[in-house]
Structures are given as structure tokens and as C-alpha cells.
Amino acid sequence: MRSRWFIVLYFIALFGTEFFYIEVLGGSLRIYHLLMPVVVLLLIGYVPRLFESPVFLCLFAFLFANLIAALVADAPLRALTSFGLLVANAGIAVSVGLLLISGKVDLRTVVRLAVVIALISVVWGVFQVAAYHLAGIDLALSPSQELQVQGGFSSGFRTEANAFAKFLNVVFLLAFPTLLASPNRKRSILIIATLAAGMLTSFTRSAIYGLAVTLVLALVWYQLKGRLGKAIPRFVLVVLVVAMSVVTFAHVVDEFNPYAAHKIARFFDPDEILEGESSAYRLMQQGMLWDSFFESDKTFLVGNGWGQIYFEFAGVEYQVGGSDFAMVLAYGGVFGGLCYVLLMLLSVNSARLLARREKDPARIGLYEGAMFALICMAVTGTINSALIAPEFWVTYGIAIYLGYLVRRQTVRATSGALRPRPQTFLPRPHSEPGGTVSRGNYGRAL
């Protein structure tokens, strides 16, 4: 019982405490970074199973490529410090993968916790904005949130609206297939409407672009699976709920967030997309990353070292950020970039294979949700970065688990094809997805 509550606490920290951070060695550590080693140590006996997952092996290769990049960087000690912070984030994926592989928590519980915390975050974020603009009460949870709330953006339990919007995208897509198929239509509509409100009040164009592309690909997936006819009515209902939310928001946004109103009015304007305030700033950093990547044969092959490209603004030095693709290439070189792309492809393919092979509709929805969330993060990653976001690494922890399941299924199928099935007069016990026989199923089998 105690371990179960600790696991719940860990996921609450992952999804709900990103706004609180401690400055360490030029970077930021969160509460979940401090809890993560405890989780890994408690599940140390399951670590060998990680190596059965091709997704974990690819993540390991990605980290190794960046370790080499840090060792040969111009300032190795500084690069190794930044690399250590990358490892701390990747440790989240390892810990979540271990929790799922060990059976200490199941995928359905992870998604439910994510949805509940996201809904609470949205309500709190909207309340923050309303309290400030209606009563002048500042409810910012950290200094980084103050300007966000004053500007009319909800940040929930995140440092900024941009991070909050991408978090809501991931949670929405993890739960999307389940909500689409749920017999409880009213509850599904309420959840979708609440998440839509959070996406609008944290208005971030890159997140909206990524979500839109992913939903189109989801329709293609349902068409290929022959389920588009069943999905369309619910899909249309989702579109109507979101459309009503957008119309309502557009009518009131100018009263508390003129900047978001301006962005909405020029949402499809090419000049605004390429030369708007935030866009120009982001593209400037993207250019610096690409220039650094092609600077020499060394930087092309092994990169500059994680976080080792800087720019100065108002006398303060900042690490250059940008899209995930530009960052992994500039910091880890072509080898780091290839490992990252392979990590994404293997993760999406693991979810796809499980969704295709599974017969249980509930599990199909969970696997499809993971696939959609991974695709959305990849699409959004072509615009800006999510590599420091906890939900990014939680989702890849799920992918590690899915890769493990695929590997176990492949091994069982291969061994079953090579040796004759044993004869028995007793029914064989059913196996859980992780490959272990559950007590409940075993009892029913006998």
C-alpha cells in the first residue's frame, strides 16, 4: 500500500510540480528529479529487462553519443554538467519504464493520473488568470509564472504557458482514443471541453499546429484500420466542442489577453508565422543551432556538447534552444541526431504494432493514445523543443515499456513456432502483457 502511494506521489510530482525548480550547476532540478533515483533503486532488480526493449537501447545509444560529444567539447567540464542534466531527464523515462515493466503500475493508471492532474491544472490556470484580471489578485506559483498570469496566459502547474500547452496536448492524445470510444459521452465531452479551455488560455501556436497534424494522421489511422465509420460521429462531436470553445474564447480574449487575440487574428498569416515576435526569436536561435552544426567536421559528426551553444542578451548569457531536431544535431552531432530519430521511429512503431495485434479494445485505445502522443511530440519538435518537459520523458518511458512488450511477444511467437506445443489436460494460465502470470488469471485457469 505504501509503495502504491509513493508511486502516485511520484506521478503527481511529474505532472504537477514543474513550476518549482532549484538552480543547480547552471541548470534546473525539479522535485521529480530527486524522487527518480529512489524509484530506480527500488526497482533495480528489473533493470536487466530494460535491455530487452529496443526503445531503451536506442535511448542508451542517444545518451552515449552525447557523452562522447561532451567529452570532446571545447569546455568538457561545462558540457558534462549539461549532459548530467540531460541524463537526469532521461532517468524519468527509465523510471517510468521500470514501473510499468515491473507491474507496480499499469498504463491505464498512468493515463488516468495524467488526465486528472491536467484537469486540475486547467481549472487552476483559468482561476489564476480570472483572479488577476477581475480582482487584481496574483496567484502565480513562481516568479516565472508572474508575467504569464499578468499577460493573460494560464500556466497551470508549469513555468510558462508554452510548456503547459504542450503538456495538455500529450495528455489529450494519450486519452483521446479512450475518450472517443467511451460509452459515457457526457464525461468525455466535459473532459475534452476542459482540456480545450486549457489549450486556449495557454495559447501556443506550435502546440496547436502539432495537435492539428496529429489529429489528421489519427483519422488516416482509423481509415486504415477500417474503424473510421465508427470514429467519425465522435470525432465530429469533438470538433464541435472545440469549435464552440474557440468561438467563445475569441469573443472574450481581447479583454484579458490582447497578445493572444492578435495571434488568433493572424493565425494563418505567413508573415506573422515567420516574423512575429516569438517566431523571429525562435528562428534566430534555430539559425544559430544549424550554423553551429555545420561549423566543422567535428561539430557535424559529434556535435558541440550538450547545451554548449550560447547567446548574450542584455548582458546575460543564455543557452540556445530551438526545435528538438536542431538541438540534437547541434549538440550531439549527426550520430546523436540519428539515435534520436531512431528512438522516435522505434517508439511509434512499438505502439503501432501493439495496437495492431491487440484484441482487447481498452488496451488498443491505450496503445493508440501512446502512438498519437509520440507522433505529436515529434511534429511539435520540428518547431520548438520539449526535451526538458517531464511529459516528454514520461511518454518515452511508456514507449520503453511498449518496446519491451513487443520484444516479449516476438520471443514467445518465435519459441512457439520452433518447438511443439506441450500437451496438457489442464487449461494453460493466461499471461499478462508483461509476460508474467497474474494470480487472478492463474486461479481462474485452474
pLDDT digits (tens, 9 = 90+) for 10-60: 999 999 999 888 877 666 789 999 999 999 999 999 999 999 999 999 999
Q: What is the pLDDT of residue 148?
A: 87
**Mean pLDDT for the stretch of residues 173-194:** 91
Range with lowest mean pLDDT among 277-291, 301-315, 414-428: 414-428
- Residue-level pLDDT at 25: 65
Does 94 fall in a domain? yes
Task: Name the more confident of 331 and 444.
Answer: 331
Distance CA 30, CA 46 (A): 25
Task: Round the average pLDDT of the chain to a whole number and report it.
Answer: 86
* 424: exposed, middle or buried (Cβ count in 10 Å: 0-12, 13-18, 19+): exposed
Confidence class of residue 63 from pLDDT cuts 50, 70 and 90?
A: very high
Of the candidates 212, 196, 204, the residue with the CA atom closest to the CA atom of residue 375? 212
Contact 326, 383 (CB under 8 A): no
What pLDDT, on a 0 to 100 scale, did the predictor assign at position 356?
94
As a 3-state breakdown, the chain gives helix, strand, coil percent values, each rounded to 5, of 75, 5, 20
Amino acid in the structure at residue 100: L
Q: Which of 193-207, 237-251, 281-295 has the highest mean pLDDT?
A: 193-207
Q: What is the DSSP letter of 429?
A: P
**Residue 424 forms part of a structural domain:** no
What DSSP element (H or E) covers 21?
A: strand 21-24
Q: How far is CA 306 from the centre of its chain?
A: 20
Average pLDDT over residues 118-137: 92
16 domain-assigned: yes
Maximum mean pLDDT: which of 243-252, 382-391, 414-423: 382-391
Structural domain count, the chain: 1
Residue 56 near residue 400 (C-beta atoms within 8 A) = yes
pLDDT at 436: 44
Which structural domain range is residue 29 located in?
2-410
Instruction: Give the residue from 248, 220, 242 showing the smallest Cα distance to 232.
Output: 220
Q: Decide which of 34 and 249 is more confident.
A: 34
pLDDT-derived band at 416, boundaries 50, 70, 90: low
Does residue 422 belong to any structural domain of this protein? Answer: no
What's the pLDDT score for residue 192? 92
CA–CA gap between residue 46 and residue 117 (Å, rounded): 28
Residue 62 resides in a domain: yes
Return the number of other C-beta atoms located less than 10 Å from residue 185's C-beta: 11
Kindly tell me if the per-residue pLDDT of 3 is higher than 90: no
Position 419 confidence tier, pLDDT thresholds 50, 70, 90: low
Least trusted range by pLDDT, from 73-77, 168-172, 233-237, 420-424: 420-424
User: Is 247 among the domain residues?
Assistant: yes
Task: Tell me if 102 sits within 8 A of 88, measured CB to CB.
Answer: no
Q: Quote the pLDDT of residue 431.
A: 47
Is 444 inside a domain boundary? Answer: no
Whether pLDDT at 439 is above 70: no
- Answer with the residue of higher pLDDT: 143 or 70: 70
**How much of the chain exceeds pLDDT 90, in percent?**
52
Three-state SS string over 270-331 comes to HHHHHHCHHHHHHHHHHHHHHHHHCCCHHHHHHCCCCCCCEEEECCEEEECCCCHHHHHHHH
Residue 315 within any structural domain of the chain: yes
Cell 459521452 locates to 185
Report whether pLDDT(362) > 50. Answer: yes
Lowest mean pLDDT among 177-186, 275-284, 291-300, 314-323: 275-284
